[in-house]
Amino acid sequence: MNNNFPMISSDHIPYIDPHVVHIIDWCVMEGGEVITEALGDGMPFPLFVKGCEVYVGSATCEDRMETYLDEKYLFPEHVVEIASLIDMGSPLPLELLEELAQPIQQRIADTVDGHHIEVEVAESEAGRCIWVVRRFTLEELEGSQFDELMREHLALTHEVEGLLH
């Protein structure tokens, strides 16, 4: 018997943020599928879950700045985000898409902190796109309401999709 095991170089094992893994795990446990053809060397990670195309990666919002003993420090308020793609390359004008998304954005602003979840309408190289984005703090990821927050995100995604299609 040969006890020589092949060594795996750490250069070939990619690091995946445990916060991202936490959301991917939830999506897979809910029947989601990782889109392996779209996986690259980096993030965000693409998945299909409950009829939604979602991407999981590091939070894209600004860090908050705090001052301690006259020194300024940047702290990430959010550690990870999930973004559901509603439409890519929409033929509708950007202004009309923003107008259609406005009532939902207003309801979000009235009921929750809009910094954590929002409907984003953007212009990119691929055309006009609409996203539902949910950012998580460390407390939200580790808290008892994580499952509920994820379900709310997917429900909002379906709602926005229903309004625009």
Encode pLDDT of 16-25 as tens digits: 788 888 999 9
Which 3 state secondary structure label does DSSP give 15? coil
Separation between Cα atoms, residue 53 and residue 65, nearest integer Å:
33
- Low pLDDT (below 50) residues in the chain: none
pLDDT value, residue 109? 76
Q: What would the DSSP string read from start to end of 124-145?
A: ETTEEEEEEEEEE-HHHHHSTT
pLDDT value, residue 63? 58
Nearest-Å Rg of the Cα atoms of the chain is: 19
Residue ranges and CATH numbers for the domains of the chain are 15-164 (3.30.1460.10)
pLDDT value, residue 79? 83
**For residue 97, what are the contacts with CB-CB under 8 A and spacing of at least 6?**
87, 90, 121, 128, 130, 164
Residue whose C-alpha is closest to residue 150's, from 56, 59, 78, 76: 56
**Looking at residue 98, what DSSP letter applies?**
H
